[in-house]
Every structure is written in C-alpha cells, then in structure tokens.
A and B are shown apart, each in its own frame.
Chain A
Amino acid sequence: MDNAFIVSILIITIRAGTSLLYATLGEIFTERAGILNLGVEGIMIMGAATSFSTAYYTNNPWLGLIAAIIVCGFLGLIHAFLTITLRADQVVSGLAMTIFGTGLASFMGQRLGPRGTTLIGLQGPSFDRFPFPLLNHLPILGPSFFNQDILVYILYLLIPILWFFLYKTRPGLKLRAVGENPRASDSMGIDVAKSRYQYTILGAVLIGIAGSHLSLGYLQGWAENITGGRGWIAIALVIFATWNPLRAVLGALLFGGINAIQFRMQAAGTTIPASFLNMMPYIFTILVLVIITWWEAFRKRIGAPSALGLPYVREEKD
C-alpha cells in the first residue's frame, strides 16, 4: 500500500464521515438533555434539500447553509414543542418528523428546479476542498485531513469545543444533569424545559449542517433519498459513542471508512454486486450495535442518560 492509496481512502473517509459526525454530535447533545430525537433522517434530508435549493438560486453556498440552519432549527422546535410542552411520545414524534421531512424534501427535490422541474442533475455552488495553509504539508495527514472543505475544518474546531463544553463547563454539567435527573436539576433551579428546548434545537441545527454538507460538500448535488439512512446510522453512532463526542469521532471515521472501501471496491471493478456493497453500512451498523450493547452489558455500565425519552412533569411523580 503506497501513500497515495492511503490518502485517497482517507479523503473519502473524512468526506463521508463529516455529515455523520455533525449529525451524531447534534443528537448527542439532544439526548444528553433527555430528549430522544428519532427525526434525524428527516431533518438531515431537509437540511440537504433547503441548502442545495437555496444555494442554487442565490449562487452562494453560505446562504444555503444558513437556510438549512433556520429550517432545521425550526423542525427541532416542532419536536421540542410536541415532546416537551405537549408531552407527546418522543419515539412517535421523531418517526413523524422522519416521514414528514423525507416527504417534504422529496417534494422540494421534484418541484424546485427551474420551471417546476427536478433538482436532480443540477450543478450549484458548493463548498469546495482547499489545502489548509501550512498543515497541508504534513505527510499523509496533510493531503487527506487538511485538504478538505470549510465545513470539515469547522468540524475539527467544533469537536474539542463541544467536548470541553460538555465535560468541563458549568452549562455542560447542567446539561448532563438535566438528562440524568431532571427532578434534581429542577430543584437546583435549572429550568428543565428551557434547557431541553435549547439542546433539541441546537441538535437539529447540527443535523441540518450535516444535511448541508451532504448536498453542498460531499455529494455536491441533489439526489432522491440523498441521506440513504445516514440519519439512522448517526443515531446508532450515538450509542456506539456512549454519548461522548470524542468517541463519536471514532465512529464517524469507522463508517466513513466503510464508505471509502465501498467506493474503492466499486471503482476497482469487483465482482460483488453493487446491491451487496450498498448493504455494507447497514449490516455494519447492526454488527456495531450488537457488539457495543454486549460490551456495555458485560462491563455493567449504563451509557445512556437515565432520563432519556422520558417526559418531565413537575407535578407528577416519576
């Protein structure tokens, strides 16, 4: 294996892993606050659709990104309102979000092209890769990790910031408390509902950026069902990461790597049918879930925030 080969694998790994990591980080923060958002797939595809269509018509990828942030933040608000204020079932609300989001995104994709045609096949502005000054001269890491688009570089900054926030700051401590024991947090004077609203919206915004990176950075275009289950894989990665942002990085690289291998095998003209290659990420997700669940059970550790998925009502007993 020569360096060029390793670099080419790493480039795809990072490009494919970026949207997964944004979404996983978003879901980690939402779940840490005790809210399970199963709408990741729907929110992510809405992020991809809004950002691509906006960028296409304004000819500016940044406006696309901002559109995705606003729309997806709003979708997060809907989930928050239903599950926090109206105490709706979090699982069903998330599923409704996925059905609604994939439907609306598909509608937009078929409708928002020039004169009411499809967005498929259009080329718009994109976040292109550029060598990061100085660091791109590093061997292997330079041409792979530091020859990426701006959203990837922002992500490099975001990872340590989010980790630091979660484990080393007061608001981070409060966030974890809300997800672990909302009643105790409430008696300590934390506004549980407000905090859950904030992190559900923040999570949805990060998921929206994930969608944006799909249609403006990684795939640079619109395709029907562009997310292809990435939202669900992100939810699986949250479990894999045991709700820790740093372990999420490992998971995203792992799944990005699967994508890279898939690409390389297809390019090399393997005899394995494409359908089976395309199954790899899904089969791998199940395997990873099985292994991590078994391992956590073996170590008798509880990774999930204790109050995850449970509504908190001050007036009622748990």
Chain B
Amino acid sequence: MKISFEKRIERSKLSVIMVPVISFILALLSGAIILLSFGVNPLQAYTVMIRGSLGSGYALSETLVKAIPLMLTGLGVSISFRMLFWNIGAEGQLAMGGIAASFVALFLEKFLQPILVLPTMFISAILAGALWGLIPASLKAILGVNEILTTLMMNYIAILLVEYLYLGPWRDPEGYGFPGTAPFPKTAWLPRFTGRIHIGIILAILAATLIWFILNHTKRGYEIRIIGQNPRAARYTGINIGRNILIVMLLSGGLAGIAGMAEVSGIARRLCSGLTVGYGYTAIIVAWLASLNPWGILLIAFLIGGVFVGGDQIQIAMQTPAAVAQVLQGAILFFMLGGTIFSNYRVRIIRGLEKNNPGAEPHG
C-alpha cells in the first residue's frame, strides 16, 4: 500500500472551511488526552471553557474583549505573511503602542484639548508600533537580516521596557505599591458599548475593510500578493521588494500599535502588567487559521478569544492552569497545518496491486 499525493490545480474550496473545523475538533480531542494524563477531567474542563466564553451575555462580551486585540494584531501579521515576511513581532509592536498611548495619557493629556486626547493617543500608538516594526523591516530590506529572529528579539526588548516603565519611573506614586501607572484621566478612556466591549471593535472592522481593500483593489496589494506567490517573478517584473517590506511593516506594526492603545485605554485604563499576554503570538494562529483572509480573521479571532476566556475560566473554577488555552491553540495550528495538504493535494491510497499501474502516479 502506498499513499500518493496529487497536486490540485486549484485549492479545494470545501477544504478552506473543513480543514479548520476538523482541526479544531481534533485539537480538542488531543487536548482532552493531555488533560486526562494530568488528571484533569476534560469534559468538565471543556464545559467550563464553553460556558465561560459563550454561555452568557457577560461571557460573550468578555470573549469579544479578548477578540479585539487578536483581530487587530491578526490583521497586522496577515498582511506581512501575505508577502512571506514573517513578522513575529506583533507582541512587541503592541507593547510599544501601549507605551506611546500611555505616555500621551499620563504626561501630555493636561496640555491637550479633551477632544484631542484620544486621537493623539491613537496616532502616537500607530507611530510607535510602526516604527518598532520598521527596525526589523529596514534591516531585512537593506541588509537581508532574518526578520523572524529580529522581530522576536524586539518583542523581548519591548516587554522588558513596558515592565521597566510601570515598575520604575512611571509607577503610580500614590498606588500603595501597585505594579502599574496611575489610572488614566477620563479623557483618555476609550468609549465602551456594553460590558468592557470598547470602540476598538469598530477600529478592527475598519482595519479589516482597509486590508481587504488594499489587497484586492490597489496596485500595492497586487504587488504584495505577487511577492508572496513568487518572489523571483516579482523581482523580474520590477517590483521593489524592499519598499514593499517597509510599507507592509509600517501597516502591520501600526495595527498592532492600535491594539496596544486599545488595551491600555479601553481595558486597563493604565499601563500595568497584563498588556503583553501573548496576543501577538496568538495573532499568528488567528491569521493562519483564517487563511490570511481579513474577514475570516475577525471570525477566528472571536473563536480564539473564546479559548482565551475559557482558559481563564478553568483557572478560576477548577484551579487548572490557564495555559491549557495555549496548548489548545498550538494543537489547533498543528492539525490545521497537517490538514493543509488536503486542500493542496488530492490524497489517494494506492493498494499494492495497483503499484505497477503507470497511470496511478503522475510524474511532473
């Protein structure tokens, strides 16, 4: 018996939906085995996770709260992944956005007209995230330095910088030792709809529209897609890859920066621990599960947001570490990756008898 893979001419449409769904189910199953082996009842754990993330109005709103930064960072990394520029630095770009927005809220607010506070925070966060992304982007564009490693190292640096600021010079002097800055003035609060859902959700939808428009209706988007599909062909047709890297990373980092601003100004309303909880890394999963489609990212971010909230819930209700959520995310991605072969190839099992049949195995 032999398994043969025949390349499909077009990606199977059905598989775009089915592969993530089946991956999700298989990940839950393997997660159950892992939980069982550590003496945790998986049925109980999953019930708590689902109830805690989808089971009530409050649960749903919390899931949406977690989904907002995942949408923004997921959209950000998706556009860089489109051209095979591996921006793993959304976490750091988010952190820098949070720092910039906090700086405006804490130190510039008193010099600004109230109506200008949020826009100033917004623009500074975009700039900070974009500039943080621009460093590895220019290193790649000019010298060809491996962007996976530089964007990652920039994460560690940014996270340490956040910690330094809220534990050091920016620490609230009247906080009785609270590890964080003073609360932001009200003018620096992002308006909320209901629960903790804030206006960041609108920003995320606008961002998805923007990315969709750029990719499908502009020359820039066309170039980005060509680079992603065939860098060599892109170079021959005179596309400036370096310039595209810089532009894409400004956009990608800027979106992560907005996520950082939304977190500090919409949720915590101060700079404190809990800003960098791994949204930037989960963004990679979100983008990939959605096949880099901007609308898909909005949907998947919501589902993975549920996994995040569910993880917190089992920590509270069952004293089981919330890291289960991360294990599940990794497992989903594994199965999704393994499943991609079914969308790109037709898999056929050839029995021993047919081995001599020359038609069974096409040669390229």
Interface residues, chain A, CB within 8 Å of chain B?
Answer: 38, 42, 78, 81-82, 86-89, 91-93, 95-97, 99-104, 106-108, 110-112, 116, 228-229, 232, 235-236, 239, 273, 275-276, 278-279, 282-283, 285-286, 289-290, 293-294, 297, 313, 315-317
A125 → B minimal CB distance (Å): 22
Name which residue of chain B comes closest to A90, CB basis. Answer: B337
Majority-rule SS of A interface residues:
helix
Cα distance, A235 to B150, chains bound together (Å)? 11
Q: Is B178 an interface residue (CB 8 A)?
A: no
User: 11 A–B contact pairs at CB < 8 A?
Assistant: A82-B334, A87-B345, A92-B333, A95-B88, A95-B284, A97-B330, A103-B324, A106-B323, A229-B156, A286-B150, A286-B154
Name which residue of chain A comes closest to B149, CB basis. Answer: A236
Interface hit among B161-169, B192-200, B252-260: B161-169
Q: Which 5 A-B pairs have the closest CB atoms?
A: A100-B330, A103-B326, A275-B164, A96-B333, A110-B321
Q: Is B319 an interface residue (CB 8 A)?
A: yes
**Which residues of chain B have C-beta atoms less than 8 A from A273's C-beta?**
164, 168
A96 touches B337 (CB 8 A): yes
Q: Is B210 an interface residue (CB 8 A)?
A: no
Q: Is B24 an interface residue (CB 8 A)?
A: no
A82 touches B361 (CB 8 A): no
**Which residues of chain B have C-beta atoms less than 8 A from A235's C-beta?**
148-149
A297 touches B321 (CB 8 A): no
A315 touches B361 (CB 8 A): yes
Q: Is B145 an interface residue (CB 8 A)?
A: yes
B364 touches A111 (CB 8 A): no
Q: Is B261 an interface residue (CB 8 A)?
A: no
Cα distance, A107 to B329, chains bound together (Å)? 13
The winner among B150, B328, B363 for most chain A CB atoms within 10 A is B150
A82 touches B338 (CB 8 A): yes
Number of interface residues of B (CB under 8 A): 55
B285 touches A99 (CB 8 A): yes
- Chain B residues 147 to 186 lying within 8 A of chain A, measured CB to CB, are 148-150, 152-154, 156-157, 160-161, 163-164, 167-168
Interface string of B329-348 (1 = CB under 8 A from A): 11101100110110011000
Cα distance, A316 to B361, chains bound together (Å)? 12
- Given A228-B156, A283-B157, A315-B364: 16 more A-B contacts, CB < 8 Å: A91-B148, A92-B288, A95-B281, A99-B326, A100-B327, A103-B325, A106-B321, A106-B323, A229-B156, A235-B148, A236-B149, A239-B146, A275-B161, A275-B164, A289-B139, A293-B145
Which single member of A99, A111, A229, A282 contacts B281 (CB below 8 Å)? A99
Which single member of A93, A282, A293 contacts B337 (CB below 8 Å)? A93
Name which residue of chain B comes closest to A224, CB basis. Answer: B323
B334 touches A100 (CB 8 A): yes
**Which residues of chain B have C-beta atoms less than 8 A from A289's C-beta?**
139, 145-146, 149-150
- Tell whether A107 pairs with B143 under 8 Å between CB atoms, given A275-B160, A282-B153: no
Q: Is B144 an interface residue (CB 8 A)?
A: yes
A278 touches B160 (CB 8 A): yes
Name which residue of chain B comes closest to A318, CB basis. Answer: B364
Which single member of B149, B160, B323, B364 contacts A279 (CB below 8 Å)? B160
A316 touches B144 (CB 8 A): no
B334 touches A110 (CB 8 A): no
- Tell whether A285 pairs with B144 under 8 Å between CB atoms, given A86-B341, A290-B139: no
A110 touches B323 (CB 8 A): yes
A88 touches B337 (CB 8 A): yes
Cα distance, A226 to B328, chains bound together (Å)? 21
A107 touches B38 (CB 8 A): yes
B2 → A minimal CB distance (Å): 12
Cα distance, A279 to B161, chains bound together (Å)? 9
B340 touches A88 (CB 8 A): yes
B255 → A minimal CB distance (Å): 19
A89 touches B337 (CB 8 A): yes
Name which residue of chain A comes closest to B285, CB basis. Answer: A99
Name which residue of chain B comes closest to A103, CB basis. Answer: B326
**Which residues of chain A have C-beta atoms less than 8 A from B50's C-beta?**
none
**Which residues of chain B have C-beta atoms less than 8 A from A87's C-beta?**
5, 341, 344-345
Q: Is B320 an interface residue (CB 8 A)?
A: yes
B338 touches A88 (CB 8 A): yes
Cα distance, A267 to B362, chains bound together (Å)? 67
The winner among B168, B282, B284, B334 for most chain A CB atoms within 10 A is B334
Name which residue of chain B comes closest to A100, CB basis. Answer: B330
A279 touches B331 (CB 8 A): no
A96 touches B152 (CB 8 A): no
**Which residues of chain A have C-beta atoms less than 8 A from B38's C-beta?**
107-108, 111-112
Interface string of B186-229 (1 = CB under 8 A from A): 00000000000000000000000000000000000000000000
A67 → B minimal CB distance (Å): 14
Cα distance, A111 to B324, chains bound together (Å)? 11
A261 → B minimal CB distance (Å): 17
**Which residues of chain A have C-beta atoms less than 8 A from B337's C-beta?**
82, 86, 88-89, 92-93, 96
**Which residues of chain A have C-beta atoms less than 8 A from B160's C-beta?**
275-276, 278-279
Name which residue of chain A comes closest to B341, CB basis. Answer: A86
A214 → B minimal CB distance (Å): 17
B327 touches A104 (CB 8 A): yes
Which single member of B5, B157, B330 contacts A101 (CB below 8 Å)? B330
